[in-house]
Amino acid sequence: MAKHNGPEVSTVRAAKHGGLLTLFFSILSIIWIFPLLVVVLNSFKLKAYIFRYPFGISSKSIAEGWDNFVAGAQKIFCGWLNYGNAIEKTNFWNSFGNSLFITVGAVCAIILCCSMCAWYIVRVNTIGTKIMYLLCLFSMIVPFQMVMFTLSKFANMLHLSNPIGIIVVYLGFGAGLSVFMFTGFVKSISLEIEEAAMIDGCSPLQTFFLIVFPILKPTTVTVAILEAMWVWNDYLLPSLVLNVNKYKTIPIAIQYLKQSHGQVDWGAMMAVLVLAILPIVIFYIICQKYIIEGVLAGAVKG
């Protein structure tokens, strides 16, 4: 009787399982991407066709315009008209500037302060630093709804109802997860490297910025992506803290497209959603390769 080769059989089974998993996740990715494609498609449609055929284009409409392709396309699509209306109605570029300033400022503040805090917690191992670390972990499990009204009151009292003030608020809310991830990675850094730098005459700040911070790059990029996606897409916190009559972020500007009696210009709504999604998607695609590396480094090492 012929004997089966164990490793070869295992390889074939692994290939079959790998093929099935690839097929499954390919279908799953299409399901997840489909809503985004629907938004992009509808952003070019006339309002009547957004309601009539929200998930595609009617075959009847195509047939009616088949003899005259241009006329048929004009019957369904309005080109860039929705984008022009969206930019005009929402004062998009002003809202874009506010969102960009707040997002960049908040992410930079979170990265700088939380990385230094994590380094201090790990290297100065005292009861005080342990309590500080536990408080950061505790902040991750406190629901935002518990503190939202108190927060809005204190923000008003401290005159934080502006783009610079809300950066301070985001720093407080983003510190928990960021300190947790940075702390896990700092534990993996050899103490001898820092001791050698100090022997060479580096001050603690020089040691951190010249030695430690460059090593933190994987976790830094991961934190930047996660926090940027949160701050850019956040609606509730800016609506509570900011003076929305003067400072509108993109999510707030999108909400203002809803007119009285619940009327919504859906063409402009879809267009401005595409404009809002595009920057953060590009940023995510550029930096996505660092996410898994940073998450594993921050959560497993140490």
All domains of the chain in start order, with CATH? 6-78 (no CATH), 83-300 (1.10.3720.10)
> E strands along 64-146, which residues?
none
pTM of the entire structure?
0.82
The model's pLDDT over 119-166, given as tens digits with 9 standing for 90+, comes to 999 999 899 999 999 998 888 888 888 888 888 888 888 888 899 999
**Is the pLDDT assigned to residue 300 strictly greater than 50?**
no
State mean pLDDT over 35-61.
77
Percent of the chain past pLDDT 90, that is, above it, reads 28
- DSSP tag of 57: -
Q: Which of 186, 34, 205 is nearest to 119 (CA)?
A: 186
Question: What is d(CA 263, CA 251) in angstroms, rounded to the nearest whole number?
Answer: 18
Q: Are 121 and 129 in contact (CB under 8 A)?
A: yes
The model's pLDDT over 226-266, given as tens digits with 9 standing for 90+, comes to 899 999 999 989 998 998 888 999 999 888 887 655 677 78
Q: Which residues of 110-127 are buried (b: 16+ CB within 10 A; e: fewer)?
A: bbebbbbbbbebbbeeee
